[in-house]
Copies of this chain bind each other. A is one copy, B any other.
């Protein structure tokens, strides 16, 4: 039973979140774990460098799957260990794709995205109604929750749940009994899209409590560039003044002496990430009513 290492490399370029792919966007960089690899991560780094020429920086493990036995029924099922890597695009690289090409409904920054969700919700509604009453009601509930219908808010972290719901409903080409119509969005080979969804969900969750967003930023940047990067990842628009308050209050960044070049309106101050805070405690509050230590 071979073990495979697979990487989701993410970067943000021109305010769009990108993922590094091979073979025309159909597969993610990957390779088998070999006895010579000093650790899982070093094995992964070797494969990614060999296949894409891209050296890895910040890497974290995502999830381990036993992939569905391939078309043929040998017991040569492999174990797939997936990783998320955050990086920056170097000029001249290719294979980078906008992740919303794979999950168009995950971009909720535009009216288009919201309209798409409405259409998907309708298709899913049909699927729920096609089931016997009890099951249908459960499906209906699940749809409302994952897609934020009926006044429930959109939860940007439910990427995987939404994909799996569409999969079950037969609305993506990968579905095992695919329905007639499928939802817009490019697919991938094997479990590729599921792994990408896992990566997106993890990243969206993580930027809330760790300063990982700066792994995707250049050395210096304006607060608006930072905001656009977060928005690209989260797929949601934010309140500008409050965003800036949040960032500055937490001492995550420090001013540089420079202003951003060639802007339109008023030139913006350039900031730099304060690397010192990286090891420091998490961003958010504890959400548990602790007693102050005596």
Q: When A79-B33, A286-B208 are in contact, do A281 and B152 touch as well, CB less than 8 Å?
A: yes
8 more A-B residue pairs beyond the given contacts A1-B3, A33-B66, A237-B290, with a C-beta to C-beta distance below 8 A:
A61-B63, A64-B81, A145-B281, A155-B282, A238-B290, A239-B290, A246-B289, A284-B287
Q: When A40-B66, A61-B63 are in contact, do A239 and B289 touch as well, CB less than 8 Å?
A: yes
21 A-B pairs with CB atoms under 8 Å apart are: A1-B3, A1-B33, A35-B77, A39-B66, A40-B65, A108-B293, A142-B279, A145-B279, A152-B281, A157-B282, A209-B287, A230-B288, A234-B288, A236-B290, A239-B289, A242-B289, A243-B288, A243-B289, A245-B289, A283-B287, A284-B284
In the bound complex, CA of A139 to CA of B40 (Å): 26
B-side contacts of A64, CB under 8 Å: 40, 61, 64, 81
CB within 8 Å of B: which of A182-220?
Answer: 207-209
A130 within 8 A of B: no
Q: Is the CB of A75 within 8 A of B40?
A: no
In the bound complex, CA of A77 to CA of B81 (Å): 16
A153 within 8 A of B: yes
B-side contacts of A63, CB under 8 Å: 61
A127 within 8 A of B: no
Residue with the highest number of chain B CB atoms closer than 10 Å, among A33, A66, A230? A66
A181 within 8 A of B: no
Binding site for B on A (CB under 8 A): 1-3, 33, 35, 37, 39-40, 61, 63-66, 75, 77, 79, 81, 108, 114, 141-142, 145, 152-155, 157, 207-209, 230, 234, 236-239, 242-243, 245-246, 279-284, 286-291, 293
Q: Is the CB of B114 within 8 A of A238?
A: no
In the bound complex, CA of A153 to CA of B2 (Å): 44
In the bound complex, CA of A287 to CA of B64 (Å): 29
From residue A65, how far is it (CB to closest CB) to chain B in Å? 7
Residue in chain B with minimal CB distance to A109: B291
From residue A168, how far is it (CB to closest CB) to chain B in Å? 15
B-side contacts of A157, CB under 8 Å: 282
Q: Of B75, B79, B281, which is within 8 A of A153 by CB?
A: B281
B-side contacts of A65, CB under 8 Å: 40
Q: Of B66, B114, B286, B291, which is within 8 A of A237 by CB?
A: B291
In the bound complex, CA of A289 to CA of B283 (Å): 14
From residue A82, how far is it (CB to closest CB) to chain B in Å? 9
From residue A62, how far is it (CB to closest CB) to chain B in Å? 10
